[in-house]
Structures are given as C-alpha cells and as structure tokens.
Structure 1
Amino acid sequence: MSAYNAVLARNTDNAPGGAGTSSQTVAFSHYNHLSAQLPVDPTTGELVLGGVKEQADQCFKNIKAIVESIDHVLDDVVRITVFLKDIADLDAVDEVYRTYFPNYVPTRTTVAVSAVPMNALVQIEAVVSNGKGTIPDAPQAGDLVKIAKNTDNAPVSPLSTQTVAFSHYNNISAQLPIDPRTGQLVAGGVREQAAQCLKNIKAILESIDVPIDDIVKINIFLTRLSDIECVDEVYSTFFPDSGIARAVGYLPARTTIACTALPMNALVQMEAVVSHGDGTPPQEVEDRHGLIIEANNTDRAPRHPLATQTVAFSHYNNLSAQLPVDPTSGELVVGASRSRRSGASTT
C-alpha cells in the first residue's frame, strides 16, 4: 500500500449532486472539505418548500447525509460557515442549528450575502475532521484527538467554540468586534472594530499557547469594501508580530470579502486558520516545531504588501484569494462586463 497521501473525492445519492462541477466531499490528510449545501431535496433536485427554517434544516440534512456516507458523525465537524440572504434570519437558523449540535459546537462564521444560488435563503458549508483513508500508513481517527477550547478573554458564544484543533491545524471562529467584558460591540468606527477583532483572535491564540504569527490564513469580511484601507492600517500593526516574523517579513495568506451584513450590525469580522493543532496528536509544545511554516510568493502572480500568496503547513497550502489582476501590469484584466454587453449602464 502506498505511503503517500491521496485525494479522496466522494458523493452520495442521499445529498444533492454537484452536476459535474463539484464533489460533495474531498478528503486529504486528516480533513474532509464539504461543498456548501443548498436547501435542495436530493430526491427532486428542487428547493424545499417553506421559509428559512425549512431551508436551514434541509442544508443540515444534506450535510449530515454526506458526513454519514463517509462513516462520520456531525460531531466530527470542526468548522461551519453560514451564508444568509438576510441577516435578520439568523435567529431562525440558530433554532435549527441547535437541534443538530445539541452538545459540542464547532467553530462558526456567519455572513449575509447579496444572493445565494437558486435564490435560496441560506447555504451552509462544513469542514470535517478525520480524512478517512487518505494516509494509508499513518495514524487515523483513533490516534488523533479533536480539542475544542474557549477562553474568557475573548467573546464566548453558546453556538460556537472559539477554537477547534485537529491534526496540525486550529480552526478559529470568526471574531466580531465584541468587547469580551461587556458582550457588546466596541465603541468607534471600523478601525476600532478591526482592532477588537484582531485582539480577540490574539487572545484565543494566547490561550492555547500559540503566537499570532502562527496564523496561516485569515479572512476579512467587510460590509463596506471601501473600509479596507482603514482595516489595513490596523492590520499592519498586528502582522508581523514577532522578531522572527518581522525578520523574514512573514504575513499570512489573506482573503477580503464584501458582504451585505454581519451579525450585530458589525462593520467587520475576521476568521483565522492557525498552524500547530494544539495537542492533536498529543505532543509536547516543543515537539510541534518539527513542522515548519513555508511562505512563498512568485512574480507570476500578483503580490500584496499585506499577504503572502501561499502559506504551507503540514499537508496543506493556504492560498490568498486571487483577483483578476495581470501580474505584469498590476491592473485588472481587460474584458467586456456583462452589463456593458447587455447595454446596461455602469457606475
């Protein structure tokens, strides 16, 4: 049997298919990555009847069907991302969410977006631990331990865990600009909110003895994309953080996303993926430094002063989101937009 890792893509008839454009789940190393699930009835291929509660329930039914088809359970989920058409539907979705995660809760990110495929009200994606069968000769589920932790130094939610570690990664719940002492948004504008998001992330990492420079990927969600310059001013005061990171100019891979709304009407929210899965498999703190973070850039793709193009750790490379920028000119590629082709006006 080969000792090399293998990509394992699988589908089940008990959940909607990807119509040839995606696999329901792709496993590699110790993680399964699930395609985001729409509220589609797999027997009809149509959206389920009803409102957002019925749609959220169908999303989770589809996720559960996929997870069970690869011999796992919902408690193996380490990260959930909820995309809502209307942020006002969050309470209704949470009611459904509680029925699927009555005890253990994974890390979570929630954002409102302008549209969801098929005009659905909600779409949900998941990442699952225990990439079964992708390392034939290496430790599998029985040898690895999932560790979920919270600290009072960052906001605590009954519907998510601040950090869930498995194998060599920690998955951090998206952090809102909430003061953990008051449970309320911090006073001020986007600068103050961005600083609080990063303070919360740093507090979570310090609680598991991991420095902020061990972040390999960070996602920034903004309700106004025009705020990115203000956020970047704050961001540059947190990265790089250590003398070693500053010496090599290390920055995590990064993605910036504009959304229509965030929970609590926040202006910004940030999520992170961190190297060094604390204690999974069980190890001494000093032993985990046998694995190294490798950050790389190439001139054949656009560079960004606050992000690395790709950051590798363990069996994964984390890439910064790529814009349609020509790396030689630094400008967007030229092409006719749909609105111009159709004769619609543009601004």
Structure 2
Amino acid sequence: MSGHNAVVARNTEKAPKSPLHSQTVAFSHYNHFSAQLPVDPASGKLVAGGVKAQAEQCFKNIRAIVESIGHGLNDVIRLTVFVRDIMDVDAVDEVYKTFFTGYLPARTVLAVAALPMDALVQIEVLLSNGEGTIPGAPQAGDLVKMTNNTAHAPCDPLSTQTVAFSHYNNLAAQLPIDPLSGQLVVGGVQEQAAQCLKNIKAILASIDVPFDDIVKVNIFLKDLADSEAVNAVYARFFPDSAIARSAAYVPARTVVQVAALPLHALVQIEAVVSHGDGTPPQAVEDRHGLIVEANNTARAPKCRWSTQTVAFSHYNNISAQLPVDPVTGQVVAGGISAQAEQCLKNIREIVESIGHVMADVVKVNIFLRNIADIDAVDAVYAGFFPGGIPARRVLGTAALPMGALIQIDAVVSNAEGTPPLA
C-alpha cells in the first residue's frame, strides 16, 4: 500500500465505548460509525423509557461522536434505523425530525429480529470527512455534498434519494413503490423486486450515472425463501451493459432476512454507487476516470450473483461471507464459534488476495441467527481484530442463507485507490 492515506479510529467519553470496536473509523473522505444503541455512556446501561427515549439516546450518542471529531449532523451522508417493531417507526421519526431539521440524509428503515442488549432501536450513520486522512496533508478546501431527488422514483419527506460525497453516491433504500401512484406495486416478490431496481435505475439516470457503476447492493427480504425469485429478477438488471456483460460484472452483495419492512413490503433494496467525477472543489475528472476493480479468489466461496470484492477509489466493498468452506462449498461443521471463524477467514482471504491486511478493515457488519451468540462470536472476533479498530454493527435475523448461524460483510480501505483508464 502507498501510505498516502491512514486509517484513523477515534472514541469519545461522551458516547458508549467498547474494547471490540471503535465509535468511528475515518479513511479518506468518509467516517464509518459503529451502530449506536440507546446506551447512557455514564452508566453503560440502556436508558429508561420506551422507543422514543431510546431513539433520542441513539441520536445523542451519534451527535456526541460527530461533534467530537469536529463535524456536525449536516455531515451525515446516510442513516439507517433498525427497530424491533416496525410499528415504532413513527415514534422514531418524531425524534429524528428534531435532529435533522433541514438537510435530510439518504435513509434506510427496517425491523430486525433482535438487537444487542434487547434494545428497541439501533441507529447507524455514515459521515463525510472533507479533510480526508492523508497524514500531514489534509484536503485543500471542503468537498461539496451533493443531494438529488427525482420525480421518477418515490420521494420520501424524511430522506434524500441519493447523497454524493467525494467518489461515492449513497442511495436511500428503495421500496417497491410506483412513483406515479405512491403505492406498492401489485403482485408478489418478483414484481416488487423489479420495482425496487427500476427505482434505483431512475435515480441513477437522474444524476447521469450508469447502472453498472453500482459497487454494492444490500437486499432486505421479508422471507429468505424468496431469494431465488428475487435472483431471477436480479439477473435481468445485472449486468446492465455490453461492457459489464463481457466482464460478467456483478456488484458485491449482501442478502438479509428482516422482521418487517415499511408498508409491509416483501423486499427493499439499497445501493452504493461509484461517482467517477467526484464532488467539487476537487478537479472534476472524466466520468470514467477511475475504474471499478472487481476481484474473486478461489480461496473464498464464490457466488454467481455477487463479486467477492469491488474496489472503487479508496474503498473495497466486500460481499457478505457465509461460514462456507471454499473447498467443499458447504457450511462448516461445528457451532457458532466455528462458523464465525470461517466467515472471518473468508474475509481475510479476500482481503489478502487484493494485497491488503485485516488492519485495513474500517467497518464490519455481523448478522446472527441468535443474538445470544454474540459473546461466542466476540471471542473469535478479537483474534482477527486485536486492536478493536473497525467500526461495527450487530443485528439479529430469523434466517440466513444455507441455514447458517452467522454472516459477516465488511468495508476495507484502499490506500492506493483505483487507477484511471489508460
């Protein structure tokens, strides 16, 4: 690696701390936050009260971390709300509106089977980092955050469809809503998946970004058994162009079963998209000045629907890894500890295959069938991340692909960046 950028992990006493992960990890032009639980940093316990009190504490913790690194809430690019009960979203929204009174980030809302500490809500943000993390040479001048909404996709009064900063566009998760009627489309999961992807395509077209610039897709399903039906639709959208088809390019991907989605939808899809020309005041580059670098290694499980890692600019986006032995193609024998170790081994193989190390990981997302397994997972996790540097999120889900007990995905720094086309 070139050493032109540095991974910067930071913590403040004004928000809950953990020896296993950092509150925020900055690299290049983004700060990746650990998901915040409604924990009082003074007591280390969940705050008393219902979901509104808990949501307020989550936002207070986020604000404390944001301000501790010299930023403000207007620097939030993307925000994700995880609730235990989808009916609590309106109450969370009441609190949300008191923290975001003007500018609205891209946003995703979903209900999950369980949260750590039996919390009712957990909130996560991605924050811009205008000064960057080049040692001794901060970015000259602030980069501009660019927001966009189009009438060709559903508009949400509490979020922006896409927020661009530096070399990434972060899209709000798209529900299967017809933008003309404002209603869920008629039909089952295939019709709904197609509408989600049409909405994403419309948003990207509105900012003149091709569909094949998507580097990561997150699919949230009400029923994991719908995966094959969704994949049939997915294959109609990816690859999207002759160039992508010739390279058989598909984005990195994570598929998760959720407890519930807004409007009782069956599927919701979120995308992270490259932004080749970046955001001012940096010199505007040619649209395809930077390349998307996709990579697979035989030392980790391969999937026809995703690429193991997709690099763009200063980040590698890693597909969710199941506890699958790449030699046999089967879930490893043993309990949660063995499965957690296999997931992390697969991630390490992918990371090392592109010339990186685990210390370059800036964010880890852990999905568990049984949230009570977290202590066993943490014992394994500490062996792979002894410094506790990556930011982290832990969620409980009722089902995972192949009957696995755990699934893990990650975001990895990419100090050397990706080169321009020759």
Q: Which runs of 5+ in 2 are unaligned?
A: 338-368, 370-402, 404-422
Please say if residues 37 and 124 of structure 1, whose CA atoms lie closer than 8 Å, have aligned partners that are also in contact: yes
Percent identity reads 70
Q: Which has the higher contact order (CA 8 A, sep 6+)?
A: 2
CA displacement 1:11-65 (0-9 Å, x = unmatched): 00000002x0100000000000010000001111111111000000000000000
Distance 2:181 2:275 in 1: 31
Aligned length, in residue pairs: 338
Residue 276 of structure 1 deviates from its aligned partner by: 1.0
**Partner residue, 2:158:** 159
CA displacement 1:124-148 (0-9 Å, x = unmatched): 0000001645124666373411001
Please say if residues 32 and 131 of structure 1, whose CA atoms lie closer than 8 Å, have aligned partners that are also in contact: no
Please say if residues 55 and 122 of structure 2, whose CA atoms lie closer than 8 Å, have aligned partners that are also in contact: yes
Q: Which runs of 5+ in 1 are unaligned?
A: 340-346
Question: What secondary structure, in the 3-state scheme, does the structure 2 residue paired with 1:96 have?
Answer: helix
Distance 1:66 1:297, change over 3 A: same
Over the residues paired in the alignment, what is the CA RMSD in angstroms? Answer: 1.9
Q: How do 1:74-223 and structure 2 match up within 5 A?
A: 74-130=73-129, 132=131, 134-136=133-135, 140=139, 142-223=141-222
Question: What secondary structure, in the 3-state scheme, does the structure 2 residue paired with 1:184 have?
Answer: coil
Please say if residues 277 and 285 of structure 2, whose CA atoms lie closer than 8 Å, have aligned partners that are also in contact: no
Distance 1:132 1:252 in 2: 29
Question: What secondary structure, in the 3-state scheme, does the structure 2 residue paired with 1:321 have?
Answer: strand
Distance 1:224 1:141, change over 3 A: farther
**Partner residue, 1:302:** 301
**Partner residue, 1:12:** 12
Residue 278 of structure 1 deviates from its aligned partner by: 5.6
Answering whether residue 241 of structure 2 is matched by residue 224 of structure 1, we say no
Question: What secondary structure, in the 3-state scheme, does the structure 2 residue paired with 1:178 have?
Answer: coil
Distance 2:204 2:263 in 1: 24
What residue identity is the alignment partner of 1:5? N
Q: Tell me the TM-score normalised to structure 2 length.
A: 0.77
Residue 283 of structure 1 deviates from its aligned partner by: 7.2
Single out whichever of 290-299 and 274-283 deviates more from structure 2: 274-283
Distance 1:60 1:157 in 2: 20
Residue 287 of structure 1 deviates from its aligned partner by: 1.3
Distance 1:50 1:272 in 2: 34
Distance 1:133 1:167 in 2: 10
Distance 1:80 1:306 in 2: 26
What residue identity is the alignment partner of 2:200? I
Please say if residues 10 and 26 of structure 1, whose CA atoms lie closer than 8 Å, have aligned partners that are also in contact: yes
Question: What secondary structure, in the 3-state scheme, does the structure 1 residue paired with 2:60 have?
Answer: helix
CA displacement 1:305-324 (0-9 Å, x = unmatched): 01000000000000100000
Question: What secondary structure, in the 3-state scheme, does the structure 2 residue paired with 1:46 have?
Answer: coil
CA displacement 1:70-109 (0-9 Å, x = unmatched): 0000000001011100000000000000011110000011
Q: Tell me the TM-score normalised to structure 1 length.
A: 0.94
Please say if residues 53 and 93 of structure 1, whose CA atoms lie closer than 8 Å, have aligned partners that are also in contact: yes
Single out whichever of 328-337 and 289-298 deviates more from structure 2: 328-337
**Partner residue, 2:398:** none
**Partner residue, 2:237:** 238
